[in-house]
Amino acid sequence: MSKANNELPKSKKHMDSEEFYRLYLLIQKQNWLEESYNGLIELWNLCDKNEQKELIEDLLKRFVVLNLEKIEKACKNIADHISNKWYLIGKSTKIVAMCSGDKPDGSQFILQCLKNKFADIKGWEERDFVNNLKSFGQVNYQIKSDQSVVLIDDFIGTGKTAIRKTEWLINKFKKKNLQMVKIYIISLACMEAAVKKIGDLKVDFYSPYILKKGINDFYCGNELEENIRNMENLESLLHPNYKQLKLSEFNFGYGRSETLFTIQGGNVPNNVFPIFWWPLLKNNSKRKTILRRII
């Protein structure tokens, strides 16, 4: 919605007053959509049935988008949880971003937001925060027996990556003969299905935002079946390939996560329904999308 004239932009297709008002109310509820209104209208016009529009409308109403203010609040909750629920102290704890490569990573962003929350907590120093899991696991002096490691991530979708990285670190500790190193995992947001899988690792876990699947966890019976078909029909309008990616690997989001979450201005997780970020239509034309992911 334009701040200058408080109107929705005009669509190339005719939009009746009722639909206009529906989108107006949607942007009022989710004001982050104001920055992506062209993508919103293009997606709206892809829907050839009102049932599809109702599904998109409902999913977007429930979409969790974290701005800096919400991230700041969440990081304060995380710091409080580490200090006052787990009773961890800097002298015997390392807080480590789950990033394991040389590319920028969302876990490093959250680690940076988290660091200064410990500035007034006795015993914590900057050296207690490590921005790369791989380098942390390869350096002997960074952790000792009977100490603790808190692994930090921005979002956990299927849980596979978090589990793989945690098991990798555990094996590193074993090879170095480190005994009784306690591992904790924290993610800014996490899918509910992944929480159960992480629990199998027998590690303590915390996330301020536990998310349900957008369709399968919110509908039932005939309505569930209908909305699964609605999303399948919408995804069938997308090109089956984009660069090196295959749409079939991202139907309903990677691992069929059905995620409704992103950090505002960030790279949208591939666990999100591709109808919101896949940039190519079946006819090979580029489309404006509500959310963006660099590929």
Dump pLDDT digits (tens) for 6-26: 555 444 556 788 898 999 999
In the chain the domains, ranked by start, together with CATH numbers, are 17-62+214-276 (no CATH), 68-209 (3.40.50.2020)
Provide the whole-model pTM: 0.92
The pair of structure tokens assigned to 96 is 């480590």
pLDDT in tens, 228-238: 999 999 999 99
Long-range contacts of 277-284 (CB under 8 A, 24+ apart): 278/238, 278/239, 278/242, 278/247, 278/250, 279/242, 280/238, 280/239, 280/241, 280/242, 281/237, 281/238, 281/239, 282/236, 282/237, 282/238, 282/239, 282/240, 284/239
Name which residue leads in pLDDT, 140 or 130: 130
Calculate mean pLDDT across residues 190-195.
Answer: 97
The rounded distance, in Å, linking the Cα atoms of 223 and 246 is 28
